[in-house]
Chain A
Amino acid sequence: MNKKKTSKGIAFAKIPIRTHIVTESDRIVKLVRQYCAGLACPGDVICLAESVVAITQRRAILPQEVKPGKLAHFLCRFPAKHGSLATPPAMQLALEEVGSIRLLAGCLAAAIGKIIRVKGLFYIVAGRQLALIDDIAGTMHPYERHIVMGPRDPGKIVRSIKRVTGAEAAIVDVNDMGCVDILAISDRSYSGAVKEALQDNPFGNEDEQTPLVVLKRKR
């Protein structure tokens, strides 16, 4: 039974929706309407994977279109190799996203964090949006050749979805390690329950074409 009592007594059933491969020619609100009509009602939460929102905003960038500078080449040696920003083009895009001064301040914070054994200071100082960058090969086919940035204006998008569907909406970054990051949600009182419901990553992390998950509220 895919139903779970979550925080504040809210219980959700999780319904992943199989979609076509979303590209930059899609419009995200139209996509939600197309697949959630008949399914999502007021009180439910329509959850969207952040990378798919970014792709529709043309924020999937081919590395060949980026000219990494010397600073990007130097800085990309330091992050964990399995994560983002390990390639010069991804680091260059990060520099352009937040500016070199802020990114260098993040590096300094990360160095201090290493000494005092506190993790995550880089993103706190340099900007949370950098944690949303998916480096080359970090996104499924046909976007494995791209660097996918975080989405722009997630708050505006969730409000539009709520206006159109009547259901709540959230844009989230979820992985298989149980980490759930809510970038934007139309009603913050749902945050805890949504986080709990998405911990087992119903979006999937392999070939699944399920960037939309409807959390149906148990009445």
Chain B
Amino acid sequence: MHLFNDGVKILAKKASLTNLRSFITEEKGQQFSNVVIESTAAVPLEISYPRPNLCRVSLSAELIMYPGPLVVRDGIVAEVVIKPAAAAQVELDISLEEAVQALITTVKGLPYRTVFGFSRKPLYDFYQDKEIVIDPGHGGADGGWRGPVDLWERDMAWQTAGELAAILAGYGARVVLTRGEGENPSWQQRLSKVGPATFCFVSVHHYGNTDREQRGTAVLYNPRLPGNEQLAEVVLERIINKVKTPARGIKADNELALLGEVPALKLEPVTITNWVDEGLLRNPYLHRKVALQTVLGIKQYFRAGEKL
């Protein structure tokens, strides 16, 4: 046993948990949500499923890392809660958004990694062959709102829409874009891309206001179709929980009403005229997070409807 200079004990060599993280990987065309536990040595563990949406892992290890929950919300893994149990025992409750079971792999070394891989197949199952029309707002000479430093709504909407298209295409959806990068079709031309096979229409903008103090996220919806309000609520809730922006709320949008009874949303993920929100747009992760949470929110809403 080693002591820190002022008497803090260094534990005898046994497994201590040092880190907990989550990320998505793709292997041979299949995606996995991974929960990774890092430790100082191999950790004996037991895994059980008390409920279909709960994976419980009991570990024989000490806890060095912070034991607070890890909020994931990636469409498969919702959250990981760490519960110190008896002496040198830790319980991890991995709550799941889908009833899937983990493939466990280990990576030897320091840190020793235990990887719980959950298949993201439910997302493929939902989106396969669904047609989604994505409308990147503004375009060409119409830059939309300009941020206080230098970003344009047109370019940021294009970037967010690109992430959205890539994620949906990855799940087998048929993506139709209403414009190319340098184009600025009229609203009517954009709406004309919607056909009988269209499952959902998503227009991507970023809000702007002459008051630079205003910031936050809003989702607008097509008031012609009952239920679209709830769809907007679900998507808004998912986005703000992930990107930590203030909610500006949901609102009926008359332009979207021209689509008739089609599920349709207009996203305003941030307020580009606000200093902080414009800064957030510089981070590519923000676009990815907004896109993923939109994809997951749409699925969550329609799946809930199927179960009713």
Which A residues have a C-beta under 8 Å from some C-beta of B? 1-3, 13-20, 33, 35, 37-39, 41, 63, 81-82, 86-87, 135-138, 141-142, 144-145, 163-166, 204, 206, 208-210, 216
11 inter-chain pairs at a CB distance below 8 angstroms, sorted by A residue, are: A2-B110, A3-B109, A15-B19, A18-B21, A19-B65, A38-B16, A38-B64, A63-B275, A81-B149, A137-B275, A166-B4
Complex formed: what's the CA distance from A20 to B110 in Å? 22
Q: A35–B11 Cα gap in the complex (Å)?
A: 12
B282 in contact (CB, < 8 A): yes
Please indicate the chain B residues that have their CB under 8 angstroms from the CB of A20 in the complex: 66, 68
- Give chain A residues whose Cβ lies under 8 Å from the Cβ of B2: 41
Contact mask for chain B residues 97-116; partner A; CB cutoff 8 A; 1 contact, 0 none? 00000000001111100000
Distance between Cα atoms of A132 and B111 in the complex (Å):
30
B interface, size bucket: 35 or more
Could you tell me if A165 and B4 are in contact, using CB atoms closer than 8 angstroms? yes
Q: Does B188 contact A (CB under 8 A)?
A: no
State the Cβ distance, B71 to closest chain A Cβ, in Å: 9
In whole angstroms, what is the CA distance A209 to B19 when docked? 9
A136/B275 in contact, CB under 8 A: yes
- Inter-subunit contact B19/A210 (CB<8 Å): yes
> A18 near B276 (CB under 8 angstroms)?
no
**Residues of B close to A82: CB separation below 8 A:** 282
Cα A209 to Cα B65 with chains together (Å): 10
Q: Contacts of B192 on A, CB cut-off 8 Å?
A: none
The answer to whether B40 touches A39 (Cβ under 8 A) is: yes
Closest Cβ of chain B to A209, distance in Å, is 7
Distance to closest chain B CB from A21 (angstroms): 9
Which residue from A15, A39, A137, A216 sits with its C-beta under 8 Å from B279? A137
B210 at the interface (CB under 8 A from A): no
> Which of A39, A163, A209 has a CB less than 8 Å from the CB of B16?
A39
**In the assembly, what is the distance between CA of A35 and CA of B18, in Å?**
9
Q: Are A18 and B109 CB-contacts (below 8 A) given A33-B8, A37-B8, A87-B149?
A: no
B6 within 8 A of A: yes
Interface residues of B in 48-81 (CB under 8 A from A): 62, 64-66, 68
Cα distance, A138 to B278, chains bound together (Å): 11
Contact residues in A for B19 (Cβ distance below 8 Å):
15-18, 210
Chain B residues 132-171 with CB under 8 Å of chain A are 148-151
Q: Known contacts A20-B66, A164-B5: does B244 contact A137 (CB below 8 Å)?
A: no
Beyond A16-B19, A87-B149, A136-B275, 6 additional pairs, beta carbon < 8 A: A13-B109, A87-B279, A137-B278, A145-B276, A163-B5, A165-B5
Q: How far does the Cβ of B39 sit from chain A's closest Cβ, in whole Å?
A: 9
Find the B residue at minimum CB distance from A39.
B64
Instruction: Return the chain A residue nearest B11 by Cβ.
Output: A38
- Chain A's closest residue to B110 (CB) is A13
Residue of B nearest to A207 (CB): B285
Residue B280 CB within 8 A of the other chain: yes
Residues of A within 8 A of B282 (CB): 81-82, 137
